[in-house]
Amino acid sequence: MANPLTNPDRFFAELSARDSNLRIPAAIVLLAAIATGIYIAAVDGVATPSPSGAAVPFTGTSVAISVIGGIIVMSVSWLLYAGVFYAISTLFRGVGSFRRVLEFTGYGFIPAIIAPVIGLAAVWLAYPGIDFSAIDSQLMKQTLMQNPLMKASDIAGILFLLWSAVIWIFGVKHACNISRRTATVTVVLPVAVHLLYSMIIMV
């Protein structure tokens, strides 16, 4: 079978011939949530000074809380994206089922597994240059996020979102039996809103 990252059109065309199966997409979303949760725990840990004047990037509790939060947010994002894609596609007379749209949308979260890994690498590389003398954790977090490596990581995150959008376009095309142009419009609208929100946060 074709690879959804390199040949999503063929991948979803082949997958359309099979019965709907949510197990693999759910596992993809779960992995993305875990990776995102660990990344958030790392950022919060670095920005929280300890009594020794250093930071503790990871603690079991912080990681667990961040991962649980990541699972909730990523699951809601999966359902929300699929729901919006499905709703918009029906306006263009798409005929697919919501379950199939949900399944194919899940595969588009594969890049969301990679993006937090890059973010973790950025945190690890930026860590030695952080001044832990400040007692204001919010100020430390702002300083961390202004680091060029973290900025580059944010830009990479946007690129990975666009990669997800490409996967979703072909997923929606085959899930809803619509043209690629119509699928592009269906996907670009909600992704553009997400992208605009992400850029506002970065600024």
In this predicted structure, the answer to whether residue 169 has a pLDDT above a threshold of 80 is yes
Residues 31 and 113: beta-carbon distance below 8 Å: yes
State yes or no: pLDDT of 171 exceeds 90.
yes
Taking each helix axis from N to C end, the angle separating 23-46 and 137-145, rounded to the nearest 10 degrees, works out to 120
Q: Average of pLDDT values for 54-79? A: 80
Statement: residue 109 has pLDDT above 80: yes
Distance in angstroms (rounded) separating the CA atoms of residues 55 and 57: 6
Q: How far apart are CA 156 and CA 150, in angstroms?
A: 10
The encoded tokens of residue 17 equal: 């011939």
Q: How many residues does the chain have?
A: 203
CA distance 8 to 189: 20
Distance CA 4, CA 181 (A): 19
Residue 173 pLDDT exceeds 70: yes
Query: What letter would DSSP give residue 55?
Result: B
Phi, psi of 49 (to 5 degrees): -70, 145
Kindly state the average pLDDT of the residues 60-81: 89
- pLDDT at position 49 is 55
Alpha helix ranges (H) inside 146-179: 148-176
**Mean pLDDT in the chain?**
86
pLDDT digits (tens, 9 = 90+) for 11-47: 999 999 999 999 999 999 999 999 999 988 887 776 6
Task: Name residue 55's beta-bridge partners.
Answer: 49
Phi, psi of 55 (to 5 degrees): -115, 155
Q: Domains of the chain: which residue ranges?
A: 8-202
